[in-house]
Each structure stands twice: as C-alpha cells, then as structure tokens.
Structure 1
Amino acid sequence: MMERFRPLLTANGLTEQQWRVIRALNENGPMEPRQISDICTISSPSMAGVLARMEAMELITKERFADDQRRILVSLTKKSIGLVRVISKDLEARYRELERVVGPEVVERVYSAIDDLLAGLE
C-alpha cells in the first residue's frame, strides 16, 4: 500500500515517520514525545532523532513546560500545517482512486479487518 503513497510524501520532503508525527499532532494537538511515540508506534530512541530532524526542518517546535523543565511539548509549525493541507488533498484523491480500482466494499473490508486486528491486540 505504501508504494502508492510514499512518492507523495517523498515529493514533499517527508519520510513516513515524519508524516505519522505530523498527522498525530494535527489530529490530537500538541503532545509530549512519549505520547507521540505511542500513537505513531515509533520507539522513544527513534522518536528523539525524528523530532530533532523535524525541528531542524522547521516542521515542529519544542517547548519546555514551565513547571517541569524535563518535559517537552511538541507542536506543529505553520509550515507543517500547510503540508497537511496539501498532502491530505492528494492522499484523499489516491484513496478515491484505490476505491475506484478495487471497489469501496473491498476497502471497507480491509479497514474492518485492520480494526479487528488492532482490537484483538489490545
């Protein structure tokens, strides 16, 4: 599946992990790195590197909590929010094309099977 979507991310200068982080922050608002790791299923050591690169690319900002300097809050930048708008439109078009090719019923069965799998793992 990612073969259909990876070129879109690459064309916008993003890795799959970076896109997962951007999506998570866009959907949930600012979070701590540990929370992002959990949502994106990226290990904490890997997340540190991903966030450092994203900060250097001006895709995120990091801010320390006033009451606990050990804690960091990660937020999207305007640049990332713009990328969400652009990429989301293209992704939606690719999902519609996928549904056109295989049929919406097949896509719905796949989503349902994934939901069942995730529920079974909890």
Structure 2
Amino acid sequence: MPGSAAVPPPNRSLLLEDQLCFALYAASRAVTARYRPLLDELGLTYPQYLVMLALWERDSISVRDLGTALQLESSTLSPLLKRLEAGGLLHRERRRDDERSVAIRLTEAGAELKDRATTVPVAIGDAMGLTPEQDALAKELLRLITTNVAEDHSR
C-alpha cells in the first residue's frame, strides 16, 4: 500500500540486548529494588505492598478475588496474607454466607498505613522519569503484552 510504513519482520536475534524479555526483566528488577527502601520504612515487602494496594482500593475482598486481581495463586497468596495478619494489618474470616470463602479486611492499623504509603508512588514516578504520556503508554503496552502472552497458550 503506497505511503504506509513497512512492518519489519520479527526480531530473530539471539543478542541479549535485542531481547524484550531481558528489557522487561532488567526493568522489573530495577524498579523493585527502588521500591525496597521505601517499603522497608512501611515494614512491607513488595508483594505485601501489592496486597495492601488492592485492599486500600477495595476493603473486604475474598481471597479468590484478591488472587485474581494480583494474578497470584492461592499457594503464593496465603503466606503473604498470614504475614500481614500476624503484623496486624489485616484479618481473615470465613464468610457467613459461604463457609468456603474467606474474606480479607483491613485492620485499623492497615487502613492507617495507607496515609504513610502515599509517598511511595510519587517517589517511584520521580525515579522513573517518565512524562504522564509515557507512563500511560508504558502501562498500556505492558498490559497488552500480559494479555497477549497469557492468552497465547497454544504456541
């Protein structure tokens, strides 16, 4: 088609610097490392912080729904919840209407931690140095990659 840009063939290079997976891995490690000192001040690990973010957004959530939101298996999520419960930030209780379902609720201390955590996204955003447009584009592309890879089990 005249005037349209040719789409380059997929990259078949085996050079490390050409691998998107390595760029994602290196970025993830760098960002997670940047979170560490900020979360240490809150007494949280990065996975615990993700749990707390989900609970600050929606208190009283089932373990199943939390696992879905965080894309975590219950075998990974259960130890996180136990440590957060032991730390006094949340409590778990069986639902009265469905004994098979466990509801998670923030404690007062868990809810109060939210105020102290408001500096974390700002510090991470500053460290990333992206414009609001770049931030939105990065999230959009990463969500697209996640969706495409998660749905593409047949290849």
TM over 0.5: yes
User: Please, which runs of 5 or more residues in structure 2 have no aligned partner?
Assistant: 1-30
State the percentage of identical aligned residues: 26
More helix by share: 1
Change (3 A) 1:69 1:116: closer
Counterpart secondary structure, 1:63:
strand
TM-score (norm: length of structure 2): 0.67
TM-score (norm: length of structure 1): 0.82
Q: Which residue of 2 aligns with 1:112?
A: 140
For this pair of structures, how many residues does the alignment match?
Answer: 120
Distance 1:52 1:105 in 2: 38
Pairing 1:33-48 to 2, within 5 Å after superposition = 33-48=63-78
Q: Which residue of 2 aligns with 1:59?
A: 89
Q: Which residue of 1 aligns with 2:126?
A: 97
Distance 2:71 2:132 in 1: 28
Q: Is the CA contact 2:93–2:104 (under 8 Å) kept in the aligned structure 1?
A: yes
Distance 1:112 1:63 in 2: 36
User: Please, which runs of 5 or more residues in structure 1 have no aligned partner?
Assistant: none
The answer to whether 1:79 aligns with 2:79 is: no
Structure number with greater Rg is 2
- CA shift digits 1:36-85 (9 cap, x unpaired): 11111222112111111111111111122223333211011111111111
Counterpart secondary structure, 1:73:
strand
The ranges of structure 1 where at least 4 consecutive aligned residues each deviate by more than 6 angstroms after the TM superposition are none
